Structure 1
Amino acid sequence: MKIALIAHDKKKEDIIQFVTAYKSVFQQHELFATGTTGKRIMEEVSLTVHRFHSGPLGGDQEIGAMIARGEMDMVLFFRDPLTSQPHEPDVSALIRLSDVYEIPLATNMGTAEVLIQGLKHGYMDWLKLRKKQGEINDKQK
């Protein structure tokens, strides 16, 4: 599966701890991340990550484009709800696209753990089946 990892500045330590805790799960999947988050995961957790631009420079939009093309399977976005973000419209668009294309999205560590446990135990197979049947790309028409 293709998993996007995003974290606002005040949540970067949390996502590093989370990815470290579930490294055995993450190393079985293709990882994508916004700039600094991806760099830190590569350096501190030693996982391969395809890096996009940082969020404020378009990284959120790059991940959103993958969602719209049916190329992303899950998004873990550790948001900081108490700090104003200059790219808030991009954040909202990414969340909206995840809802439109029915992509599992976690915006905090608690929900991310439920998704990763589900992935670990094979509960995300419905997404693979939908992709195989072409349902996800039907929304593009």
Structure 2
Amino acid sequence: MRIGLAVNQLHHANRDAALYRWLRVCADGIRELQMELHVVGRTYDAMLGEGMLQGYPPLKRYPYGRHGGLMKLVAEVVGLGETRTLDGAIYLIDPVDPSSDYPEAAALKRQCVIHHKPFVSTVAGAIDFIECQRMHAGLEPLPAADRLFAFERQTVALIAHDALKQEMFDFAGAHFDLLSRFATRVATGTTGQGLNELAWSRGWPKDKEWVVRYNSGPLGGDAQIADRILDQRCQRVIFFEDPHVARQHEADIRLLERAVTTVTDEAMCMTTPIVAQRWIEAVKKREAF
């Protein structure tokens, strides 16, 4: 597996920064997986400066971001042949860093969504991602990741754009029992109503909502859920995004995404049905140990 890696400056500024918190948990797992990391220059230099993954052959250095390193990752997510095609990207975002709004940063996420590849933007998400890859490889669970799979103490947000609402309903129906284990489920307006109707058809008590419904996205539902995330009352966002349509409430969607990256150790987001399905399969493998 080949994964692009970039980190905003704040996240490698000191020894307790996000990049190093992630690698202290996951470096051994990366080695076990023999995961090939294609790393933008400053992030690469920071890792080696702290002795992280030194002498690891599948670590590839790219130019600094200002010299096109992040742009190269975007192109490789799209695909440039057998040896230059990435399977996804980890980009630990500082939401107030101006570079997180550069075109190449937005394009990296968008192309991951278009090509149904994982885009990981938080420490919690990066730990979760490596743990899921370990499960698919048949390795034993990491105790350090246990808290991320304690669904009974978590809230999950289920959000879908219009073109993908049916896929969200299909996903929730196929994995109804697992999703029902979360302490709370939340959703924006129309998606939430459809999910509640699905739950009632599956025997969920008629006088009880399966998901807590917020406003529709254009009327501020994304902002309402963002507030929960910032208060650490929502840990997972499953957001089936349609990258091909104009989004009149783009600012609200970006606000939700920024909230996730603001609480980087506590929240994570999955953005395509294929990525979410692979996560479900990893959860089941983990629980079978």
When the two structures are superposed, what TM-score results if normalisation uses the length of structure 2? 0.40
Query: Larger radius of gyration, structure 1 or 2?
Result: 2
Among 143, 151, 159, the alignment partner of 1:6 is: 159
Distance 1:89 1:39, change over 3 A: same
Aligned AA (2:180):
Q
Aligned AA (2:275):
T
Among 248, 269, 277, the alignment partner of 1:113 is: 277
Aligned to 1:71: 233
Aligned AA (1:22):
H
Report if the CA contact (8 A) 1:16-1:45 is conserved: no
Equivalences, count? 122
Aligned AA (2:270):
A
Matched, 1:39 2:183: no
Which string of whole-angstrom CA distances, capped at 9 and with x for unpartnered residues, describes residues 61-105 of structure 1? Answer: 001000111110100011110001110111111112212212120
Distance 1:88 1:40, change over 3 A: same
- RMSD between aligned alpha carbons? 1.5
C-alpha distance in 1, partners of 2:275/2:251?
22
Local SS of the residue matching 1:64:
helix
Aligned AA (1:97):
A
Moved over 6 A (4+): none
Local SS of the residue matching 1:5:
strand
Matched, 1:61 2:223: yes
Among 255, 258, 261, the alignment partner of 1:93 is: 255
Distance 1:68 1:38, change over 3 A: same
Aligned AA (1:24):
D
By relative contact order (CA 8 Å, sep 6+), the higher-ranking structure is: 1
Q: Is there any run of 5+ residues in structure 2 with no aligned partner, and where?
A: 1-153, 205-209
Among 81, 85, 89, the alignment partner of 2:243 is: 81
Report if the CA contact (8 A) 1:2-1:74 is conserved: yes
When the two structures are superposed, what TM-score results if normalisation uses the length of structure 1? 0.80
Aligned to 1:125: none
C-alpha distance in 2, partners of 1:71/1:89?
22
* 1:27 Cα deviation from its structure 2 partner: 1.1
* 1:117 Cα deviation from its structure 2 partner: 3.9
* 1:113 Cα deviation from its structure 2 partner: 2.2
Q: Identity percentage over the alignment?
A: 34
Local SS of the residue matching 1:112:
helix
Matched, 1:21 2:21: no
Aligned to 1:137: none
Q: Is there any run of 5+ residues in structure 1 with no aligned partner, and where?
A: 123-141
